[in-house]
């Protein structure tokens, strides 16, 4: 099977918005808010057939709380799922509860052999209900023959809604398919996805979805002075590549241009500052930022916003070898600044810095980068929350709020002038790592040295949430989450609306 894919291996169910459950659906998933069983129209309807439904719920301790579910082997099968507190005041959780309920309902229905699932009771929460289903049903089955191999996939999904929601449904489908595509390429290991194949995937996406594309090899990068990327890539048998794909609206009514940059280390062994085996596990996911950006570009190509969007990633494999960069090496970066390499495992910032220098020259007003940059960010915020840093309070807030709405958990981390000396070098302009405190912040501050004045820039450190070691929330399988795809697409939509 070729690994150069442009669509997720996982096929989303055919989806339809319907006024009532179709006669022949084999499973009905009913969302119920906490302590609202008696008020639920759907449950009252069922109680005509299943007279003791309220008694069953009481006995099974099902009260509609988030995370709870109950199934009744009827025809059709009924799966009740808790939507949590209707008055939930936290923007993130009020929406996330819905996604999780839908994901839970759909995956439980699948376990029961359902091929056609109808979602009821999700009221106006069409977007979250579909997001939960599409993200929750995803599995990466390419290499495993587990029990789930025998489980059938849900082929048809119906969502009961009065709202005219076809447009929203189409949008959610595009974005979630893209997110699942990102998960597929992140889940592929380093012996399948290397800088060469990751660049080919970029080019295939551009071709399939009508985006512009340019890819630079080592010689071109040398000409442009991208020695950060070249230094990180020089230890690998597979040379680095620089990928730039961009979307231009057909009618250029708006001159707004933004850049989305992703960290694209196809495997991070640490280089000569080699990681321990335990820390090296899952370092295939060090390309998650680039995969999120690539997926967002694919979605943007289909949504066709009225702004120009540039997707950029410099892809390398960070390996130790006789040609690898050394500790103590001094690199002259694309923007002319010199960097002393004090740790070859702090490689992401070297590649991103040159990608930022490249973006500076495109005439963009905003740059957003996503990167699995530091373990320190996970120490600071836990493994499920990404860190937002940047040079504009307004832009940071916009990203934070977007994340809250779409379900990407993030928190803003501060830059600190008093920490600047941590990344100053006695032999060069900068060094590529600080000390053991505030590592996410010093990494972000390092990147800020490469952003040209006048550009709003945000950096999201996604080291934690890009990849989960056990299933959580609506990610019903361990592995890549596709964190950041929904945020990037929504951000582009918001910037377009702001500039209309
Ligand atoms: N790719 C890692 C960061 C990472 C760690 C991502 C855990 C996901 C999970 C990055 O390149 C790295 O190794 N960072 C170092 C920086 C240090 C050497 C200054 C780290 O976090 O230890
Ligand atoms: Zn590293
Ligand atoms: Zn890394």
Share of the chain above pLDDT 90, in %: 94
Three-state DSSP class for residue 140: coil
What is the chain's alpha carbon radius of gyration, rounded to the nearest angstrom?
Answer: 24
pLDDT band at 359 (very low <50, low <70, confident <90, very high): very high
Q: What is the mean predicted confidence (pLDDT) over 134-151? A: 85
pLDDT of residue 456: 98
Residue 151 has pLDDT above 90, yes or no: no
Closest C-alpha residue for ligand 1 atom 17: 346
What pairing do the DSSP bridges indicate for beta strands 241-247 and 308-318?
Answer: antiparallel
Per-residue tokens: 331 = 């690199």
* Fold of the domain built from segment(s) 14-160: 3.40.220
Q: What is the mean predicted confidence (pLDDT) over 403-408? A: 98
Separation of 59 CA from ligand 3 center, angstroms? Answer: 50
The boundaries of every CATH 3.40.220.10 domain in the chain are: 14-160
Number of DSSP helices (H) and strands (E) in the chain, helices first:
15, 20
pLDDT band at 9 (very low <50, low <70, confident <90, very high): very high
Residue 147 has pLDDT above 90, yes or no: no
Q: How far apart are CA 411 and CA 493, in angstroms?
A: 21
Q: Does the beta carbon of 379 sit less than 6 angstroms from any atom of ligand 1?
A: no
Three-state DSSP class for residue 149: helix
Q: How far apart are CA 218 and CA 275, in angstroms?
A: 26
Residue 236 has pLDDT above 90, yes or no: yes
Tell me the pLDDT tens digit for each residue of 439-451.
999 999 999 999 9
Choose which residue among 264, 374, 430, 443 to substitute to test ligand 1 binding: the one with the highest number of ligand atoms within 8 A of its C-beta. Answer: 374
Tell me the pLDDT tens digit for each residue of 159-211.
999 878 999 999 999 999 999 999 999 999 999 999 999 999 999 999 999 99
24: left (phi over 0), alpha (psi -120 to 50) or beta: alpha
pLDDT of residue 457: 98
Residue 55 near residue 199 (C-beta atoms within 8 A)? no
Strand partners, 157: 15, 117
Domain 175-498 top-level CATH class: alpha beta
Q: How far apart are CA 434 and CA 414, in angstroms?
A: 16
Share of the chain above pLDDT 70, in %: 99
CA proximity to 347, closest of 269, 279, 278, 421: 269
Q: Identify the residue whose tokens are 């690898």.
A: 324
Q: How far apart are CA 228 and CA 338, in angstroms?
A: 10
pLDDT of residue 252: 67
Residue 500 has pLDDT above 70, yes or no: yes
Q: What is the mean predicted confidence (pLDDT) over 466-486? A: 96
Give the angle subtended at the CA of 474 by the CAs of 472 and 477, to the nearest 5°.
60
Q: How far apart are CA 166 and CA 245, in angstroms?
A: 30
Mean pLDDT of the chain: 96
The boundaries of every CATH 3.40.630.10 domain in the chain are: 175-498
Separation of 83 CA from ligand 1 center, angstroms? Answer: 37
Separation of 182 CA from ligand 3 center, angstroms? Answer: 18
Per-residue tokens: 339 = 């960097």
Q: Does the beta carbon of 347 sit less than 6 angstroms from any atom of ligand 1?
A: yes
pLDDT of residue 150: 72
CA proximity to 32, closest of 57, 10, 4: 57
Q: Does the beta carbon of 346 sit less than 6 angstroms from any atom of ligand 1?
A: yes
Choose which residue among 345, 433, 437 to substitute to test ligand 1 binding: the one with the highest number of ligand atoms within 8 A of its C-beta. Answer: 345
Taking the CA of residue 144 as centre, how many other CA atoms within 13 Å lie in the half-sphere pointing to its CB?
10
Q: Which atom of ligand 1 is nearest to the CA of 279?
A: 7
What pairing do the DSSP bridges indicate for beta strands 366-371 and 308-318?
Answer: unpaired
Separation of 455 CA from ligand 3 center, angstroms? Answer: 25
Per-residue tokens: 453 = 């004045």
């Amino acid at each position: 099977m070729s690994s150069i894919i442009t669509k997720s291996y996982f096929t989303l169910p055919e989806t339809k918005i319907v006024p009532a459950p179709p006669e022949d659906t084999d499973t009905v998933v009913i969302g119920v808010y906490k302590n609202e069983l008696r008020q639920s129209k759907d449950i009252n309807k069922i109680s005509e057939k299943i007279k003791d439904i309220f008694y069953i719920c009481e006995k099974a301790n099902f009260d509609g709380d988030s995370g709870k579910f109950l199934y009744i082997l009827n025809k059709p099968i009924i799966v009740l799922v808790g939507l949590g507190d209707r008055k939930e005041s936290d923007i993130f959780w009020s929406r996330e509860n819905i996604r999780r309920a839908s994901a839970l309902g759909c995956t439980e229905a699948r376990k029961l052999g359902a091929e056609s699932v109808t979602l009821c009771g999700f009221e106006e929460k069409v977007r979250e209900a579909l997001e939960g289903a599409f993200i929750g049903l995803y599995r990466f089955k390419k290499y495993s023959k587990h029990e789930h191999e025998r489980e059938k996939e849900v082929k048809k999904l119906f969502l009961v809604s009065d709202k005219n929601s076809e447009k929203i449904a189409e949008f959610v489908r595009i974005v979630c398919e893209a997110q699942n595509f990102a998960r597929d390429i992140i889940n592929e290991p380093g012996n399948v996805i290397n800088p060469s194949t990751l660049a080919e995937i970029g080019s295939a996406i551009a071709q399939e979805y009508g985006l512009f594309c340019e890819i630079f090899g080592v010689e071109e990068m040398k000409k442009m002075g991208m020695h950060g990327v070249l230094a990180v890539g020089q230890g690998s048998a597979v040379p680095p590549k620089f990928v730039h794909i961009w979307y231009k609206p057909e009618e250029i009514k708006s001159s707004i241009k933004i850049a989305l940059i992703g960290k694209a280390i196809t495997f991070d062994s640490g280089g000569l500052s080699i990681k321990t085996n335990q820390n090296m596990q899952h370092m295939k996911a060090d390309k998650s930022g680039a995969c999120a950006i690539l997926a967002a570009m694919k979605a943007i190509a289909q949504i066709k916003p009225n702004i120009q969007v540039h997707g950029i990633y410099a892809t390398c494999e960070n390996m130790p070898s006789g040609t690898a960069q050394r500790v103590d090496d001094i690199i002259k970066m694309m923007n002319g600044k010199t960097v002393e390499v004090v740790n070859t495992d702090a490689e992401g910032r070297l590649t991103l810095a040159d990608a930022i220098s490249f973006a500076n020259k495109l005439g963009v007003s905003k740059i957003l980068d996503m990167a699995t940059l530091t373990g320190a960010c996970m120490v600071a915020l836990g493994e499920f929350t990404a860190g937002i840093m940047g040079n504009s309070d307004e832009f940071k807030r916009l990203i934070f709020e977007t994340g809250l709405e779409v379900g990407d958990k993030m928190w803003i981390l501060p830059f600190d002038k008093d920490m600047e000396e941590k990344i100053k070098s006695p032999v060069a302009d900068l060094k590529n790592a600080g000390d053991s405190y505030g590592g996410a912040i010093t990494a972000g501050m390092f990147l800020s040295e490469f952003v040209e004045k006048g550009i709003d820039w945000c950096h999201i450190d996604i080291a934690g949430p890009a990849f989960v070691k056990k299933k959580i929330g609506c990610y019903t399988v361990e592995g890549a989450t596709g964190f950041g795809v929904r945020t990037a697409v929504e951000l582009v939509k918001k910037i377009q609306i702001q500039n209309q």
